[in-house]
Amino acid sequence: MKKLVVLTGAGMSAESGINTFRDADGLWEGHDVMQVASPEGFRENPELVLNFYNERRRQLQSVKPNAAHIALADLEKEYDVTIITQNVDDLHERSGSTNIIHLHGELLKARSIDNDNEFYNCNKDIHLGDLSPNGKQLRPHIVWFGEAVPLLEKAAEITTTADVLVIIGTSMQVYPAASLINYVKLGIPIYFIDPNPSIHKSDFNNLEIIAEKATVGVSQLIANYL
């Protein structure tokens, strides 16, 4: 069974109604990114940060996987599929995909402020004063700017085993996730699905660009290339 590695970003979930966080002016939902997505921001105003993610978590529970999520899950019938996602939502899980690496954490999990190896399921709001079993404040299980990406090594290792690499809905500007494309073996076909492609066909060997949103692009990928 061929190994299919799929790297997904914000554009994957946009058609489900999940905001892509960062606007053209660099603000996330009206906030400077470092206010709501950095350890410093959390130290300065933990309540603001907790509320920001509480709103994202509530929004997540009001949306559903789109046709692209479902099509990727269906590919498990024919391929050994691993999805490496920059998204913190659970739409890949809800659509039926079984091998998912969340590079940037998960909205529906929380952890203690002093232990990033132990996570707790979290479907509700997190407030100041909500403590983990070890008595420390809970925070969202999200990888913030300036923090290590613990699953990056595992993701890179899996990317080296790909027979096919598919990249969907990511600008390829966010590192270290964007570096994963460099781990594929020479000659492996790469498919890049994004309505506004940030890379060119000549940038990589065996690269095919499908300049479409995720639902249309995944459908074309399956019909024409896989």
Starting at the edge strand found earlier in the chain, the sheet holding 80-85 runs 100-102, 80-85, 3-8, 164-168, 190-193, 207-210
Q: What are the residues whose beta carbons fall under 8 Å from the beta carbon of 88, sequence distance 6 or more? A: 56, 102, 104, 105, 106, 107, 142
Structure tokens at 2: 């061929």
Would you say 110 and 140 are in contact if contact means Cβ atoms under 8 Å apart?
Answer: yes
Catalytic member of 104, 127, 141, 200: 104
Active site residue 141: no
Structure tokens at 211: 């300049």
Structure tokens at 168: 């969907």
CA–CA dist 36, 214 (Å, integer): 27
CA–CA dist 52, 109 (Å, integer): 15
For 22, which DSSP code?
B
Catalytic residues: 104
